[in-house]
Amino acid sequence: MKLSQLTAYLESLAPLALQEDYDNSGLIVGQSNMEISQALISLDCTEAVVDEAIATGCQVIISHHPIVFKGLKKFNSKTYVERVVEKAIRNNVAIYAIHTNLDNIMTGVNARICETLGLTNTRILAPKQNLLKKLVTYVPVAQAEQVRKALFHAGAGHIGEYSESSFNVEGTGTFKGSENSNPYVGEPGIRHHEEEMRIETVYPANLESKIIMALVLAHPYEEVAYDLYNLTNQHQQIGSGMIGELEVPMDEAEFLGEVKAAMDCTVIRHTAFTGKRVKKVAVCGGSGGFLLKHAIAAGADVFITADYKYHEFFDAEGKIVIADIGHFESEQFTQQLLCEIIQEKFVNFAIRLTKVNTNPVKYFI
């Protein structure tokens, strides 16, 4: 199939608009119209991973971490980033990254951590704001349903676990077309009164152009009247980190032992135990220190993440146990997650999990 078919599907689940400002998710190397028959899945894209893709005949590498985070000004093989990009281009291997956009969705990286740890009643730890907008439009009563269907099909009307959500109220609209108009109802130059339906529905801001196009195509009027509103509501299914509960509370040492085994950790760096039983657990794959206040506010007993610096451990202040399990360790199961996501949609497409351990951190025990 075309590479664009695969990337379009991935972006339908984890839109690029959901990535953080510093991120560089998406197609980094390659052309969207290139033919692909198999993909290599990896947490990182290193030279060894590119070599593996070449040796196994994979035309695309799907990695969690982008190989390029900032602009490259020279390509002369002096850095590992330059060498990876150069080798991929020379061998016609595409590189696609799905990073913080996969972190920020309800079924993404943090959901897999929660699943691995057996957490239940999970939710987003820090929901994002300013991702939703509201559309208000006016349509003749007879055509209201066709417009609603078009808007819902384009992605409007989702609120949490509910779809096709809208508010509707009838009223009277007026308009007078010019001599050059071609009104759907009424006559040019004469003010017309029409019984109309006011339709209100919310939608993700990144789908705006698609939804407006659907509205215009489905609406019978020559000139479609509509209003767009920015919403500051939190999007409960999009955001950073997750929090959940253990079915059976356990003591802190026992729980960290379970974490070490489940997450395949060599070592866990942690703050002093508080003496409380562990019930609520907050998680964030990768560097999640910025979420500590959210974890404490949510009543978490333990916060599992990575990349904590020495002085940042003091911020626990006896209120919570910070458990740094390592960056690679916290996100390693993202590879299996990506395999499952792709195989569910493309049953006959070949997926390979990399055999390269890309973790740059080694432990001397």
CA angle, 160 then 164 then 170, to 5°: 125
Encode the chain (365 residues) as per-residue pLDDT tens digits. Answer: 999 999 999 999 999 999 999 999 999 999 999 999 999 999 999 999 999 999 999 999 999 999 999 888 888 999 999 999 999 999 999 999 999 999 999 999 999 999 999 999 999 999 999 999 999 999 999 999 999 999 999 999 999 889 999 999 999 999 999 999 999 999 999 999 999 999 999 999 999 999 999 999 999 999 999 999 999 999 999 999 999 999 999 999 999 999 999 999 999 999 999 999 999 999 999 999 999 999 999 999 999 999 999 999 999 999 999 999 999 999 999 999 999 999 999 998 999 999 999 999 999 98
Query: What are 252's two structure tokens?
Result: 């802190």
* pLDDT computed for residue 160 by the predictor: 85
229 touches 137 (CB < 8 A): no
197 touches 141 (CB < 8 A): yes
Amino acid letter, 138? Y
Question: What sign does the CA torsion over 214, 171, 162, 101 have?
Answer: positive
CA 75 to CA 77: how far, in whole Å? 6
Q: Is 93 left (phi over 0), alpha (psi -120 to 50) or beta?
A: beta
Query: What are 264's two structure tokens?
Result: 């395949």
Closest CA to 253 of 285, 278, 280: 278
Strands of the 38-42 sheet, one edge to the other? 26-29, 94-97, 60-63, 38-42, 350-353
Question: What sign does the CA torsion over 293, 296, 298, 300 have?
Answer: positive
